[in-house]
Amino acid sequence: MDRTPEQVWKECLDIIRDNISRQSFKTWFAPLKPIKLEQDQQSLKLIIEVPSRFYYEWLEEHYFSLLRKTITKVLGSQGRLQYDIVIEKDHLSQKANDTGHLQIPAHPLSSPSQQTSLPFADPRLNPSNQAPRNESPSYQTPMRYAQAPSANVIPLHPAGKAPPASPFVIPGIKKVEVDSQLNPAYTFERFIEGDCNRLALSAGRAIAERPGETSFNPFLVYGGVGLGKTHLIQAIGNYARQNRKIDSILYVSSERFTTEFVQSIQHNRVSEFSLFYRQIDLLIVDDVQFFGRKEKTQEEFFHIFNALHQTGKQIILCADRPPKDIEGIEERLLSRFTWGLTADVQPPDLETRIAILQRKAEDEGLHIAPDVIEFIAHNITSNIRELEGALIRLLAHSAYRKEEIDLAFSKEILKDLVKETKLNLSIEEIQRIVCQYYSIPDDLVRGKTRKQEVVQARQVAMYFSKQYTKHSLKTIGLHFGGRDHSTVIHALQSIETYLEMDMRFQDTLAAIRHKIELQSH
Ligand code: ADP
Ligand code: MG
C-alpha cells in the first residue's frame, strides 16, 4: 500500500469541499481525522476518527451519498469507510471499553461480512439493504441505535428511553402551568435562512419537530451580537408550543436564572426553584456566557442540566462565543454544553442581508425601492440588529418629515451609520501593513524569496490589494516584483483555500484586515 491515510483523506476532502458549502465543510469535515488505511482481501478500508457519535449520525444522514461516491472515486470499488467514534468519558457505561472509541463501518460502504463485528445490531446492515438510501432529511437516525439493543450497547444516548426516575420528581405531583416567556414574534417563518445560519436553522427545525428525541441535545448556538441567536432558539420553542410537541417550555436568560436562583437562596426556597426547573420539557437558556464566574449558579444549573438530560428533556443554549472561549465556567459544565450539537451563526452575506431587509419592510407593510434596500445592505454589514435599526430609522424620519424613502433621503438619514468602504490605500501601503504584521521587511514581498512565511505574506498582501484597491490583477502583479496576473489569481485562490481549511488563518486575516482598516482612516 503506497498511500498514507492522510493522503487518501486529503484527496477525499478535495472532492468533498467542491460539493458542499464552506460552512458545512468546516463544521462536518474539518474536524475528522484519518487514522488508518487497512487492506484485506475484499476491501481497502479508510478509518476516520469522528469527534462524537453525533457527527457520525449526521454524516450518515446527510452526506452518505457524497461519502460513498468520494470513497469509491479515491479508493476504487473496494473502498470502504469506517468511523472511529470518540466517546466522551461521561457517556461511557461500565461496559464500555477503556479506549473511549467505538468503531462503526459506514453503512453503504461496509461489506456484509462485517456485520458480526458490529457493536450494534444495526438493521441497516442487512446485506439486501445495500441500495442507496433515500436522502430526505428525516432525522430518524439518532434513535435507530437506541432501538436496537444488544449485549454490547453502550448507552451513549440515554435520552428518551426508559429514563431512570428522577429523584426530584415527586410521584403524583401535578405539573404547574409554566409561562414559557417566549416572544411570539420570533418564529421560523420570520427567520431568513442564509449560508450564515443554515446549519443552526436546520438543526433547530429538527429539534422543534422532536424535542428531546434527536441527539442534538443540548443544542448550543453561538455567534456575535445581533445575529439571530435569540430569535432562532425562541423559534424552536414557539414551534414546539404551537404544534403541541410537549407540555412545558421555558425560555430564560442566564441572568434571570441567576437572579431567581439568588432570590431562592435568600428566601430559603432553593428546593422549589430546583423542582420547578426539573419539570420543564424544553428548557431554553439564552446567553449562557453570563454564567461565567457564578459558581453557585453554575452548580445548580449543572444539576438541573443533568436531571433534564437524563430524562430525555431538551436543552437549548446560546452564547456569544464558542464554548471553549467562555471564561469562568467549570470544565464539567462546559463539556456538557458540547455533548449534543454546537452550531454557529455568522454575519449574513449580502444576499441574506437583502432578503432580511425586504422581509422586514414587507412585515411593516412598506414598499421600499430596491436601490434603497441595496444601499443599506451594502453598507451595514456587521449584524442584523443594525440592519433593522437602519430601516426603523428611515421609517421614523420619513413619517416625521413626510418624505418618501428614496436613495438620496436614505443616504442623508443614514450617513453616520454608513462607513466609507473605499479605503484609498495604495498597494505599497497594504504591503507595508501586511509585512509589519509578519515582522518582515516590505521589500521581501516584491522579491523572489520562496520562504514559506514570505510567500504567505505576499499572498495576503495581494489578496487585500485586490479587495481594497481598484487596480487590475495585472497592475497588482507588477507591484509585486513584476509577477504576472496568474500569480495573483493563484494567490487569491490559495487564500480562499486556507480560509476554508484553517480557523487560525481566519483569525490572522481578520487581524490584518483590522489593521488595514484602521490605518486607512
Ligand atoms: P442575538 O440574540 O444573536 O443577539 P437576535 O436574535 O436578538 O440576535 O436578533 C437581532 C434582531 O435581528 C432580531 O430582531 C431578530 O428578529 C433579527 N434577526 C436576526 N436574524 C434574523 C434572520 N435570519 N432573519 C430575520 N430576522 C433576523
Ligand atoms: Mg440574544
Ligand 1 atom nearest residue 186's Cα: 16
510 Cα–ligand 2 center, Å: 24
Between 87 and 486, the more confident residue is 486
235 Cα–ligand 1 center, Å: 11
Average pLDDT of the residues in 41-47: 89
- Pick the most confident of 156-170, 179-193, 460-474: 179-193
Average pLDDT of the residues in 185-200: 94
Pocket test for ligand 1, best of 195, 384, 391, 392 (most atoms within 8 A of CB): 384
Ligand 1 atom nearest residue 318's Cα: 2
Ligand 1, atom 14, residue with closest C-alpha: 385
Query: Which of 45-49, 130-134, 225-229 comes out lowest in average pLDDT?
Result: 130-134
Question: Is residue 331 pLDDT above 80, yes or no?
Answer: yes
Backbone angles phi, psi at 192, to 5 degrees: -85, 130
395 Cα–ligand 2 center, Å: 24
Q: Which residues contact 308 (CB under 8 A, 6 or more apart)?
A: 277, 278, 280, 283, 314, 315
Task: Give the Cα separation of 243 and 175 in Å (integer).
Answer: 19
Residue labelled with grid coordinates 486556507: 498
Average pLDDT of the residues in 175-185: 85
410 Cα–ligand 1 center, Å: 22
Ligand 1 atom nearest residue 223's Cα: 3
Q: What is the mean pLDDT of the chain?
A: 80
Between 177 and 91, the more confident residue is 177
Task: Give the Cα separation of 202 and 191 in Å (integer).
Answer: 12
**pLDDT, tens digit (0-9, with 9 covering 90-100), for 76-96:** 988 888 888 776 443 333 333
Task: Give the Cα separation of 390 and 384 in Å (integer).
Answer: 10
SS3 assignment, position 316: strand
Ligand 1, atom 18, residue with closest C-alpha: 228
Ligand nearest to the CA of 255: 2
358 Cα–ligand 1 center, Å: 14
> 222 has which bridge partners?
319, 344
Cell readout for 477 is 502583479
225 Cα–ligand 2 center, Å: 7
Average pLDDT of the residues in 44-54: 82
**pLDDT for res 436:** 93
**pLDDT, tens digit (0-9, with 9 covering 90-100), for 354-412:** 999 999 998 888 888 988 998 899 888 888 999 999 998 998 888 888 888 999 999 89
Pocket test for ligand 1, best of 182, 193, 227, 290 (most atoms within 8 A of CB): 227
Residues with CB under 6 A from ligand 1: 190-192, 197, 225-231, 356, 384-385, 388
Task: Give the Cα separation of 175 and 271 in Å (integer).
Answer: 16
Average pLDDT of the residues in 196-202: 94
SS3 assignment, position 453: helix
244 Cα–ligand 1 center, Å: 25
Percent of the chain with pLDDT over 90: 51
Ligand nearest to the CA of 225: 1
418 Cα–ligand 1 center, Å: 20
**pLDDT for res 274:** 93
Angle between helices 485-501 and 452-468 (to 10 degrees): 100
DSSP 288: G
Question: Is residue 146 pLDDT above 80, yes or no?
Answer: no
Ligand 1 atom nearest residue 193's Cα: 23
Ligand nearest to the CA of 384: 1
pTM of the model: 0.57
Peptide bond into 218 cis (omega under 30): yes
Q: Which of 39, 40, 38, 20 is nearest to 30 (CA)?
A: 20
Ligand 1 atom nearest residue 227's Cα: 3
Ligand 1, atom 9, residue with closest C-alpha: 228
330 Cα–ligand 1 center, Å: 29
CA angle 320/321/324 to nearest 5° reads 145
Ligand nearest to the CA of 191: 1
> 252 has which bridge partners?
285
Question: Is residue 286 pLDDT above 70, yes or no?
Answer: yes
Q: Are 213 and 312 spatial neighbours (Cβ–Cβ below 8 Å)? A: yes
Q: Are 192 and 228 spatial neighbours (Cβ–Cβ below 8 Å)? A: no
**pLDDT for res 116:** 24
Reported as a pLDDT band with limits 50, 70 and 90, residue 245 is confident
- Pick the most confident of 21-25, 140-144, 505-509: 505-509
SS3 assignment, position 340: coil
344 Cα–ligand 1 center, Å: 14
Ligand 1 atom nearest residue 191's Cα: 24
